Amino acid sequence: MVIVVVLVLLVIGSLLFHWLSPWWFTPIASNWGTIDTTIDITLYITGFVFVAVNLFLAYAIYRFRHDPSRRAHYEPENKKLETWLTAITAVGVAAMLAPGLIVWADFVDVPEDADEIEVVGAQWQWNFRLPGADGKLGEVDARYIAPDNPFGMNANDPAGNDDVLVSSNELHLPIDRPVKVLLRSKDVLHDFAVPQFRVKMDLVPGMVTYVWFTPTRTGKFDILCMELCGIAHYAMRGYVVVDTAEDFDSWLAEQTTWSDMQAIPAGNAIAGKDSFAVCASCHGQQGEGNVAMNAPSLAGLPDWYIARQLDHYKRGIRGAHQDDVYGKQMAPMANMLADATAVRNITAYITTLEASVPTSTLDGDPSRGASHYNSCGACHGAQAQGNYALQAPRLAGQEDWYLKRQLHNFRLGIRGAHKEDTYGHQMVLMARSLQDDQSINDLLAYLNTL
Protein backbone atom coordinates (compact mmCIF):
# COMPACT_ATOMS: atom_id res chain seq x y z
CA MET A 1 0.00 0.00 0.00
CA VAL A 2 3.07 2.22 0.06
CA ILE A 3 2.38 3.09 -3.56
CA VAL A 4 -1.00 4.59 -2.63
CA VAL A 5 0.53 6.87 -0.03
CA VAL A 6 3.35 7.77 -2.38
CA LEU A 7 1.00 8.65 -5.21
CA VAL A 8 -1.03 10.92 -2.95
CA LEU A 9 2.13 12.51 -1.58
CA LEU A 10 3.50 13.03 -5.07
CA VAL A 11 0.32 14.83 -6.10
CA ILE A 12 0.40 17.02 -3.00
CA GLY A 13 4.13 17.49 -3.34
CA SER A 14 3.83 18.56 -6.97
CA LEU A 15 1.18 21.12 -6.04
CA LEU A 16 3.28 22.44 -3.17
CA PHE A 17 6.33 22.58 -5.38
CA HIS A 18 4.36 24.56 -7.88
CA TRP A 19 3.05 27.05 -5.32
CA LEU A 20 6.25 27.43 -3.36
CA SER A 21 8.65 27.40 -6.28
CA PRO A 22 10.57 30.66 -6.69
CA TRP A 23 11.24 29.60 -10.29
CA TRP A 24 8.64 31.01 -12.57
CA PHE A 25 8.35 33.23 -15.64
CA THR A 26 10.35 36.42 -15.38
CA PRO A 27 8.15 39.53 -15.09
CA ILE A 28 6.87 40.29 -18.56
CA ALA A 29 8.19 43.29 -20.49
CA SER A 30 6.15 43.15 -23.67
CA ASN A 31 2.58 43.22 -24.93
CA TRP A 32 2.33 39.40 -24.86
CA GLY A 33 0.43 39.13 -21.58
CA THR A 34 -2.10 37.09 -23.55
CA ILE A 35 0.48 34.31 -23.81
CA ASP A 36 0.74 34.25 -20.04
CA THR A 37 -3.04 34.08 -19.80
CA THR A 38 -3.11 31.11 -22.19
CA ILE A 39 -0.51 29.41 -20.07
CA ASP A 40 -2.61 29.99 -16.96
CA ILE A 41 -5.68 28.47 -18.59
CA THR A 42 -3.69 25.43 -19.70
CA LEU A 43 -2.12 25.15 -16.28
CA TYR A 44 -5.47 25.09 -14.48
CA ILE A 45 -7.00 22.52 -16.82
CA THR A 46 -4.01 20.20 -16.93
CA GLY A 47 -3.42 20.66 -13.21
CA PHE A 48 -6.96 19.60 -12.49
CA VAL A 49 -6.65 16.51 -14.70
CA PHE A 50 -3.30 15.63 -13.15
CA VAL A 51 -4.73 15.76 -9.64
CA ALA A 52 -7.99 14.02 -10.53
CA VAL A 53 -6.47 11.14 -12.51
CA ASN A 54 -3.75 10.38 -10.01
CA LEU A 55 -5.93 10.63 -6.91
CA PHE A 56 -8.45 8.37 -8.62
CA LEU A 57 -5.61 6.01 -9.50
CA ALA A 58 -4.44 5.95 -5.88
CA TYR A 59 -7.98 5.39 -4.63
CA ALA A 60 -8.56 2.55 -7.11
CA ILE A 61 -5.37 0.81 -6.01
CA TYR A 62 -6.32 1.18 -2.38
CA ARG A 63 -9.95 0.16 -2.79
CA PHE A 64 -9.34 -2.82 -5.06
CA ARG A 65 -6.15 -4.20 -3.58
CA HIS A 66 -5.74 -7.92 -3.70
CA ASP A 67 -8.24 -9.90 -1.65
CA PRO A 68 -8.27 -13.68 -2.14
CA SER A 69 -11.95 -13.89 -1.27
CA ARG A 70 -13.00 -11.55 -4.02
CA ARG A 71 -12.94 -11.60 -7.79
CA ALA A 72 -12.45 -8.70 -10.12
CA HIS A 73 -15.46 -7.37 -11.92
CA TYR A 74 -15.86 -8.58 -15.52
CA GLU A 75 -16.59 -5.65 -17.77
CA PRO A 76 -15.14 -5.60 -21.31
CA GLU A 77 -16.28 -2.06 -22.00
CA ASN A 78 -18.72 0.61 -21.01
CA LYS A 79 -19.67 2.63 -24.03
CA LYS A 80 -21.58 5.27 -22.15
CA LEU A 81 -18.72 6.02 -19.78
CA GLU A 82 -16.14 6.02 -22.55
CA THR A 83 -18.23 8.35 -24.70
CA TRP A 84 -18.67 10.76 -21.81
CA LEU A 85 -14.98 10.76 -21.00
CA THR A 86 -14.12 11.37 -24.65
CA ALA A 87 -16.56 14.24 -24.86
CA ILE A 88 -15.32 15.90 -21.66
CA THR A 89 -11.72 15.53 -22.81
CA ALA A 90 -12.60 17.08 -26.15
CA VAL A 91 -14.20 20.04 -24.39
CA GLY A 92 -11.13 20.49 -22.18
CA VAL A 93 -8.82 20.33 -25.19
CA ALA A 94 -10.95 22.87 -27.05
CA ALA A 95 -10.87 25.18 -24.03
CA MET A 96 -7.07 25.16 -24.17
CA LEU A 97 -6.75 25.31 -27.95
CA ALA A 98 -9.17 28.14 -28.67
CA PRO A 99 -7.39 30.88 -26.69
CA GLY A 100 -4.09 29.62 -28.06
CA LEU A 101 -5.24 30.01 -31.65
CA ILE A 102 -6.68 33.46 -30.98
CA VAL A 103 -3.39 34.67 -29.54
CA TRP A 104 -1.49 33.03 -32.39
CA ALA A 105 -3.61 34.99 -34.86
CA ASP A 106 -2.33 38.16 -33.14
CA PHE A 107 1.21 36.89 -33.39
CA VAL A 108 0.91 36.17 -37.11
CA ASP A 109 -0.64 39.58 -37.80
CA VAL A 110 2.03 42.26 -37.43
CA PRO A 111 0.68 45.79 -36.74
CA GLU A 112 1.12 48.05 -39.74
CA ASP A 113 2.81 50.81 -37.80
CA ALA A 114 5.49 48.49 -36.39
CA ASP A 115 9.07 49.73 -36.78
CA GLU A 116 11.26 47.33 -38.72
CA ILE A 117 14.69 46.53 -37.39
CA GLU A 118 17.03 43.71 -38.22
CA VAL A 119 18.87 41.28 -35.98
CA VAL A 120 21.87 39.59 -37.57
CA GLY A 121 23.17 36.39 -36.02
CA ALA A 122 26.53 34.79 -36.67
CA GLN A 123 28.60 32.30 -34.75
CA TRP A 124 28.57 33.50 -31.90
CA GLN A 125 27.55 37.11 -31.80
CA TRP A 126 24.58 39.37 -32.27
CA ASN A 127 24.60 42.49 -34.44
CA PHE A 128 21.77 44.81 -35.34
CA ARG A 129 20.72 47.06 -38.18
CA LEU A 130 18.21 49.90 -38.04
CA PRO A 131 16.79 51.53 -41.15
CA GLY A 132 18.00 55.10 -40.59
CA ALA A 133 16.28 58.28 -41.69
CA ASP A 134 14.62 56.89 -44.83
CA GLY A 135 12.88 54.19 -42.82
CA LYS A 136 14.06 51.56 -45.31
CA LEU A 137 16.61 48.82 -44.82
CA GLY A 138 19.05 48.49 -47.71
CA GLU A 139 19.52 45.25 -49.58
CA VAL A 140 21.85 42.67 -48.08
CA ASP A 141 23.18 39.34 -49.27
CA ALA A 142 25.52 36.72 -47.94
CA ARG A 143 27.77 37.05 -50.98
CA TYR A 144 28.61 40.69 -50.12
CA ILE A 145 29.90 39.79 -46.66
CA ALA A 146 33.58 40.71 -46.33
CA PRO A 147 35.90 41.92 -43.55
CA ASP A 148 35.07 45.53 -44.40
CA ASN A 149 31.39 44.74 -44.91
CA PRO A 150 30.35 42.45 -42.05
CA PHE A 151 26.64 43.06 -42.62
CA GLY A 152 26.78 42.10 -46.28
CA MET A 153 25.40 45.44 -47.47
CA ASN A 154 24.84 45.93 -51.18
CA ALA A 155 27.02 48.96 -51.92
CA ASN A 156 24.84 49.86 -54.91
CA ASP A 157 21.60 50.16 -52.98
CA PRO A 158 21.18 53.80 -51.91
CA ALA A 159 18.58 52.80 -49.31
CA GLY A 160 21.39 51.19 -47.33
CA ASN A 161 23.60 54.28 -46.96
CA ASP A 162 21.85 55.65 -43.90
CA ASP A 163 21.28 52.21 -42.32
CA VAL A 164 22.48 52.21 -38.74
CA LEU A 165 24.87 49.31 -38.22
CA VAL A 166 25.24 48.25 -34.60
CA SER A 167 28.36 46.12 -34.34
CA SER A 168 28.00 45.58 -30.61
CA ASN A 169 25.76 43.04 -28.98
CA GLU A 170 23.51 45.65 -27.42
CA LEU A 171 20.29 46.74 -29.09
CA HIS A 172 18.22 49.67 -27.91
CA LEU A 173 14.49 49.89 -28.49
CA PRO A 174 12.03 52.65 -27.65
CA ILE A 175 9.30 51.77 -25.18
CA ASP A 176 5.67 51.29 -26.27
CA ARG A 177 6.45 51.19 -29.99
CA PRO A 178 5.53 47.95 -31.74
CA VAL A 179 8.62 46.54 -33.42
CA LYS A 180 8.90 43.95 -36.15
CA VAL A 181 12.25 42.26 -35.74
CA LEU A 182 13.57 40.82 -38.99
CA LEU A 183 15.90 37.95 -38.29
CA ARG A 184 18.82 37.01 -40.50
CA SER A 185 21.69 34.60 -40.01
CA LYS A 186 25.02 34.60 -41.75
CA ASP A 187 25.93 30.98 -41.07
CA VAL A 188 23.83 28.50 -39.08
CA LEU A 189 20.54 28.42 -37.22
CA HIS A 190 20.25 30.71 -34.21
CA ASP A 191 17.27 31.78 -32.16
CA PHE A 192 16.48 35.28 -30.96
CA ALA A 193 15.01 34.88 -27.49
CA VAL A 194 14.41 37.43 -24.76
CA PRO A 195 12.63 35.66 -21.90
CA GLN A 196 10.93 38.86 -20.73
CA PHE A 197 9.35 39.38 -24.14
CA ARG A 198 8.00 35.77 -24.24
CA VAL A 199 8.28 35.45 -28.02
CA LYS A 200 11.20 33.92 -29.87
CA MET A 201 12.05 32.88 -33.40
CA ASP A 202 14.84 31.07 -35.24
CA LEU A 203 17.28 32.83 -37.51
CA VAL A 204 17.68 30.76 -40.64
CA PRO A 205 20.49 31.34 -43.13
CA GLY A 206 19.12 31.93 -46.61
CA MET A 207 15.85 33.43 -45.44
CA VAL A 208 14.48 36.26 -43.32
CA THR A 209 12.17 35.35 -40.46
CA TYR A 210 10.44 37.73 -38.12
CA VAL A 211 8.90 38.21 -34.71
CA TRP A 212 7.01 41.21 -33.37
CA PHE A 213 6.35 42.69 -29.94
CA THR A 214 5.88 45.97 -28.13
CA PRO A 215 8.27 46.57 -25.23
CA THR A 216 6.26 47.80 -22.26
CA ARG A 217 8.90 48.24 -19.59
CA THR A 218 12.26 50.01 -19.63
CA GLY A 219 15.29 48.04 -18.57
CA LYS A 220 18.10 45.87 -19.83
CA PHE A 221 17.21 42.31 -20.86
CA ASP A 222 19.34 39.36 -21.89
CA ILE A 223 19.23 38.05 -25.43
CA LEU A 224 20.02 34.36 -25.48
CA CYS A 225 20.58 32.18 -28.51
CA MET A 226 18.15 29.31 -28.11
CA GLU A 227 18.92 27.18 -31.14
CA LEU A 228 22.06 25.08 -30.91
CA CYS A 229 24.64 26.84 -33.07
CA GLY A 230 27.90 25.13 -32.26
CA ILE A 231 30.56 24.96 -29.59
CA ALA A 232 30.13 28.47 -28.18
CA HIS A 233 26.31 28.42 -28.44
CA TYR A 234 26.05 29.11 -24.74
CA ALA A 235 28.30 32.14 -25.05
CA MET A 236 26.17 33.82 -27.70
CA ARG A 237 24.63 36.56 -25.58
CA GLY A 238 23.40 40.05 -26.12
CA TYR A 239 21.21 42.70 -24.55
CA VAL A 240 18.09 44.57 -25.44
CA VAL A 241 17.84 47.89 -23.65
CA VAL A 242 14.35 49.35 -23.65
CA ASP A 243 14.65 53.13 -23.45
CA THR A 244 12.33 56.05 -23.21
CA ALA A 245 11.90 57.79 -26.56
CA GLU A 246 14.49 60.48 -25.69
CA ASP A 247 17.12 58.05 -24.48
CA PHE A 248 16.57 55.95 -27.56
CA ASP A 249 17.07 58.92 -29.87
CA SER A 250 20.29 59.92 -28.19
CA TRP A 251 21.57 56.34 -28.42
CA LEU A 252 20.62 56.20 -32.08
CA ALA A 253 22.47 59.42 -32.79
CA GLU A 254 25.72 57.91 -31.50
CA GLN A 255 25.61 54.91 -33.82
CA THR A 256 27.57 54.42 -37.00
CA THR A 257 25.83 54.27 -40.37
CA TRP A 258 26.90 52.29 -43.40
CA SER A 259 28.21 55.42 -45.10
CA ASP A 260 30.15 56.36 -41.94
CA MET A 261 31.68 52.94 -41.93
CA GLN A 262 32.76 53.19 -45.56
CA ALA A 263 34.30 56.58 -44.90
CA ILE A 264 36.73 55.40 -42.19
CA PRO A 265 40.24 55.99 -43.54
CA ALA A 266 43.07 53.44 -43.30
CA GLY A 267 45.62 53.94 -40.54
CA ASN A 268 48.94 55.64 -41.29
CA ALA A 269 51.79 53.40 -40.22
CA ILE A 270 54.40 56.11 -40.46
CA ALA A 271 52.52 58.37 -38.10
CA GLY A 272 51.95 55.39 -35.88
CA LYS A 273 55.66 54.66 -35.63
CA ASP A 274 56.22 57.82 -33.62
CA SER A 275 53.57 57.04 -31.05
CA PHE A 276 54.90 53.49 -30.77
CA ALA A 277 58.07 54.75 -29.11
CA VAL A 278 56.24 54.86 -25.78
CA CYS A 279 54.92 51.33 -26.21
CA ALA A 280 58.35 50.06 -27.20
CA SER A 281 59.77 50.84 -23.77
CA CYS A 282 57.84 47.90 -22.35
CA HIS A 283 56.75 45.85 -25.35
CA GLY A 284 60.10 46.06 -27.11
CA GLN A 285 61.24 47.78 -30.29
CA GLN A 286 59.84 45.02 -32.47
CA GLY A 287 56.80 44.56 -30.25
CA GLU A 288 58.26 41.20 -29.26
CA GLY A 289 57.13 41.53 -25.61
CA ASN A 290 59.13 41.46 -22.42
CA VAL A 291 58.48 39.08 -19.62
CA ALA A 292 60.36 41.22 -17.11
CA MET A 293 58.04 44.13 -17.79
CA ASN A 294 54.98 41.83 -17.97
CA ALA A 295 54.41 43.15 -21.47
CA PRO A 296 53.00 40.69 -24.02
CA SER A 297 54.10 40.37 -27.60
CA LEU A 298 52.24 42.72 -29.93
CA ALA A 299 53.82 41.82 -33.25
CA GLY A 300 51.59 39.37 -35.12
CA LEU A 301 48.41 40.55 -33.45
CA PRO A 302 45.79 41.79 -35.91
CA ASP A 303 45.06 45.52 -36.03
CA TRP A 304 41.36 45.18 -35.19
CA TYR A 305 42.21 43.31 -32.00
CA ILE A 306 44.77 45.85 -30.82
CA ALA A 307 42.38 48.67 -31.66
CA ARG A 308 39.60 47.05 -29.65
CA GLN A 309 41.86 46.49 -26.65
CA LEU A 310 43.17 50.05 -26.73
CA ASP A 311 39.60 51.27 -26.91
CA HIS A 312 38.67 49.05 -23.96
CA TYR A 313 41.59 50.37 -21.91
CA LYS A 314 40.62 53.90 -22.74
CA ARG A 315 37.00 53.37 -21.74
CA GLY A 316 37.72 51.42 -18.56
CA ILE A 317 36.29 48.19 -19.95
CA ARG A 318 39.67 46.54 -19.51
CA GLY A 319 42.28 47.34 -16.91
CA ALA A 320 39.81 48.81 -14.47
CA HIS A 321 39.40 45.80 -12.19
CA GLN A 322 41.27 46.27 -8.93
CA ASP A 323 43.01 42.89 -9.22
CA ASP A 324 44.20 43.54 -12.76
CA VAL A 325 47.63 44.78 -11.72
CA TYR A 326 49.21 44.99 -15.17
CA GLY A 327 46.00 46.08 -16.85
CA LYS A 328 45.94 49.05 -14.53
CA GLN A 329 49.42 49.97 -15.74
CA MET A 330 48.29 49.77 -19.36
CA ALA A 331 45.14 51.88 -19.00
CA PRO A 332 46.88 55.29 -18.59
CA MET A 333 49.24 54.40 -21.44
CA ALA A 334 46.28 53.79 -23.74
CA ASN A 335 44.80 57.07 -22.67
CA MET A 336 47.80 58.83 -24.17
CA LEU A 337 46.36 58.08 -27.60
CA ALA A 338 44.11 61.03 -28.28
CA ASP A 339 41.52 59.70 -30.68
CA ALA A 340 40.44 56.97 -33.10
CA THR A 341 42.86 58.20 -35.74
CA ALA A 342 45.81 57.81 -33.37
CA VAL A 343 44.66 54.30 -32.54
CA ARG A 344 44.34 53.43 -36.24
CA ASN A 345 47.82 54.75 -36.95
CA ILE A 346 49.49 52.84 -34.19
CA THR A 347 47.74 49.60 -35.03
CA ALA A 348 48.70 50.09 -38.65
CA TYR A 349 52.32 50.36 -37.54
CA ILE A 350 52.17 47.29 -35.31
CA THR A 351 50.93 45.15 -38.19
CA THR A 352 54.13 45.98 -40.05
CA LEU A 353 56.24 44.38 -37.31
CA GLU A 354 57.61 40.90 -37.81
CA ALA A 355 56.06 38.29 -35.51
CA SER A 356 58.62 36.73 -33.20
CA VAL A 357 58.89 33.13 -32.06
CA PRO A 358 57.92 32.94 -28.40
CA THR A 359 60.04 31.19 -25.82
CA SER A 360 58.41 28.48 -23.83
CA THR A 361 58.32 29.19 -20.11
CA LEU A 362 55.84 26.57 -18.96
CA ASP A 363 55.99 22.86 -18.46
CA GLY A 364 53.07 21.09 -20.13
CA ASP A 365 52.15 18.10 -22.22
CA PRO A 366 51.27 19.29 -25.73
CA SER A 367 49.39 16.10 -26.62
CA ARG A 368 46.99 16.53 -23.71
CA GLY A 369 46.76 20.20 -24.54
CA ALA A 370 45.68 19.40 -28.09
CA SER A 371 42.39 17.96 -26.85
CA HIS A 372 41.76 21.01 -24.69
CA TYR A 373 42.40 23.14 -27.73
CA ASN A 374 39.47 21.56 -29.61
CA SER A 375 37.00 24.05 -28.20
CA CYS A 376 39.40 27.01 -28.50
CA GLY A 377 40.12 26.21 -32.14
CA ALA A 378 36.50 26.76 -33.07
CA CYS A 379 37.08 30.50 -32.82
CA HIS A 380 40.84 31.01 -32.79
CA GLY A 381 41.39 28.62 -35.69
CA ALA A 382 43.00 25.21 -35.92
CA GLN A 383 46.45 26.82 -36.21
CA ALA A 384 45.60 29.49 -33.62
CA GLN A 385 45.88 31.98 -36.47
CA GLY A 386 42.90 34.00 -35.23
CA ASN A 387 39.68 34.82 -37.05
CA TYR A 388 38.38 38.26 -37.78
CA ALA A 389 34.81 37.09 -38.33
CA LEU A 390 34.69 35.81 -34.78
CA GLN A 391 36.81 38.66 -33.43
CA ALA A 392 39.17 36.02 -32.07
CA PRO A 393 42.81 37.18 -31.97
CA ARG A 394 45.79 35.18 -33.13
CA LEU A 395 47.22 33.11 -30.27
CA ALA A 396 50.14 31.48 -32.04
CA GLY A 397 53.28 33.47 -31.38
CA GLN A 398 52.00 34.96 -28.14
CA GLU A 399 54.00 34.50 -24.94
CA ASP A 400 52.65 31.61 -22.88
CA TRP A 401 53.04 33.36 -19.51
CA TYR A 402 50.84 36.17 -20.82
CA LEU A 403 48.15 33.82 -22.12
CA LYS A 404 48.20 31.98 -18.82
CA ARG A 405 47.65 35.15 -16.89
CA GLN A 406 44.82 36.18 -19.20
CA LEU A 407 43.13 32.77 -18.82
CA HIS A 408 43.35 33.21 -15.05
CA ASN A 409 41.95 36.70 -15.31
CA PHE A 410 39.09 35.52 -17.48
CA ARG A 411 38.32 32.65 -15.14
CA LEU A 412 38.17 34.95 -12.14
CA GLY A 413 36.29 37.70 -13.96
CA ILE A 414 39.21 40.10 -13.62
CA ARG A 415 39.06 40.52 -17.37
CA GLY A 416 35.91 40.22 -19.47
CA ALA A 417 33.38 40.77 -16.72
CA HIS A 418 32.55 44.30 -17.83
CA LYS A 419 29.09 44.40 -19.42
CA GLU A 420 30.35 46.02 -22.59
CA ASP A 421 33.15 43.54 -23.13
CA THR A 422 31.21 41.23 -25.46
CA TYR A 423 34.04 38.99 -26.52
CA GLY A 424 35.69 39.11 -23.13
CA HIS A 425 32.44 37.82 -21.70
CA GLN A 426 32.56 34.87 -24.08
CA MET A 427 36.11 34.17 -22.94
CA VAL A 428 34.97 34.20 -19.31
CA LEU A 429 32.51 31.42 -20.16
CA MET A 430 35.02 29.49 -22.23
CA ALA A 431 37.95 29.83 -19.84
CA ARG A 432 35.92 28.36 -17.03
CA SER A 433 35.99 24.96 -18.74
CA LEU A 434 39.68 24.71 -17.77
CA GLN A 435 39.82 23.77 -14.13
CA ASP A 436 43.43 23.42 -13.07
CA ASP A 437 46.88 24.78 -13.68
CA GLN A 438 48.14 21.65 -15.34
CA SER A 439 45.40 21.78 -17.98
CA ILE A 440 46.27 25.36 -18.77
CA ASN A 441 49.97 24.50 -19.00
CA ASP A 442 49.19 21.60 -21.32
CA LEU A 443 47.06 23.83 -23.50
CA LEU A 444 49.73 26.50 -23.71
CA ALA A 445 52.41 23.92 -24.40
CA TYR A 446 50.32 22.83 -27.35
CA LEU A 447 49.93 26.43 -28.50
CA ASN A 448 53.72 26.82 -28.44
CA THR A 449 53.93 24.04 -31.02
CA LEU A 450 51.70 25.89 -33.49
Partner 1 sequence: MQHVAIADQIDEMHDPQSFVTKYIWSQDHKVIAIQYSLTAIFVGLVALVLSGLMRLQLGFPDTFDFIDPTAYLQFVTMHGMIMVIYLLTALLLGGFGNYMIPLMIGARDMVFPYLNMLSYWMYLLSVLVLLSSFFAPGGPTGAGWTLYPPQAILQGTPGYDWGIILMLASLAIFIIAFTMGGLNYVTTVLQARTHGMTLMRMPLTIWGIFTATILGLLAFPALLVSAIMMMLDKVLGTSFFMPALVSLGESLDYTGGSPVLFQHLFWFFGHPEVYIVALPAFGMVSDVLATHARKNIFGYRMMVWAIVAIGGLSFIVWAHHMYVSGMHPAFGFFFATTTLIIAIPTAIKVYNWVLTLWQGNIHLTVPMLFAIGFIFTFTHGGLTGLFLGNVVIDLPLSDTYFVVAHFHMVMGVSPVMVLFAAIYHWYPLISGRMFNVTLGKAHFWFTFLGTYAIYLPMHYLGFLGVPRRYFAMGSTDFIPESAQSLNASITISALIVGVSQLLFLYNIFWSLRHGKQAGHNPWGATSLEWQTPDVPPHHGNWGAELPRVYRWAYDYSVPGAEHDFIPQNHPVTDTEGTAGDHGESEK
Residue 19 in the binding site for partner 1 (CB under 8 A):
no
Residue 237 in the binding site for partner 1 (CB under 8 A):
yes
Residue 97 in the binding site for partner 1 (CB under 8 A):
yes
Residue 85 in the binding site for partner 1 (CB under 8 A):
yes
**Structure-derived torsion over alpha carbons of residues 335, 341, 346, 350, reported in degrees to the nearest 10:** 130
Residue 309 in the binding site for partner 1 (CB under 8 A):
no
Residue 76 in the binding site for partner 1 (CB under 8 A):
yes
**Interacting residue with partner 1 among 114, 175, 204, 291 (CB under 8 A):** 204
**Interacting residue with partner 1 among 159, 182, 189, 291 (CB under 8 A):** 189
Distance (Å) of CA 38 to CA 49, 101, 314: 17, 10, 49
**Interacting residue with partner 1 among 15, 33, 50, 316 (CB under 8 A):** 50
Residue 179 in the binding site for partner 1 (CB under 8 A):
no
CB crowding 3-16: b at 16 or more within 10 Å, else e:
ebeebbeebeeeee
Nearest alpha-carbon partner for 363 in 396, 398, 401, 394: 401
Pick the closer one to partner 1 by CB: 107 or 326. Answer: 107
Residue 16 in the binding site for partner 1 (CB under 8 A):
no
Pick the closer one to partner 1 by CB: 273 or 418. Answer: 418
Whether residue 124 has a cis bond before it, omega within 30° of 0: yes
Half-sphere exposure of 352 (CA within 13 A, CB side): 14
Reported as type and span, the H/E element at residue 302 is none
Beta strands in 144-199 (DSSP E): 164-166, 170-174, 179-185, 190-193
Site string for partner 1, 318-357 (x = CB under 8 A): ----------------------------------------
Residue 178 in the binding site for partner 1 (CB under 8 A):
no
Pick the closer one to partner 1 by CB: 227 or 400. Answer: 227
Residue 159 in the binding site for partner 1 (CB under 8 A):
no
CB crowding 227-263: b at 16 or more within 10 Å, else e:
bebeebbebbbbbbbbbeeeebeebeeebebbeebee
Site string for partner 1, 106-135 (x = CB under 8 A): -xx-------------xx------------
Of the listed pieces 91-99, 252-260, 334-342, 354-362, which binds partner 1 according to CB under 8 A? 91-99
Nearest alpha-carbon partner for 128 in 241, 207, 232: 241
| CA pair distance 136, 109, nearest whole angstrom | 20
| Sign of the alpha-carbon torsion through 317, 321, 327, 331 | positive
Of the listed pieces 86-94, 255-263, 345-353, 394-402, which binds partner 1 according to CB under 8 A? 86-94
Of the listed pieces 296-304, 356-364, 368-376, 399-407, which binds partner 1 according to CB under 8 A? 368-376
* Nearest approach, Cβ of residue 272 and partner 1 (Å): 25
Residue 441 in the binding site for partner 1 (CB under 8 A):
no
**Interacting residue with partner 1 among 173, 331, 378, 447 (CB under 8 A):** 378
| CA pair distance 260, 349, nearest whole angstrom | 23
Cα angle at 213 between 204 and 208, to 5 degrees?
Answer: 20
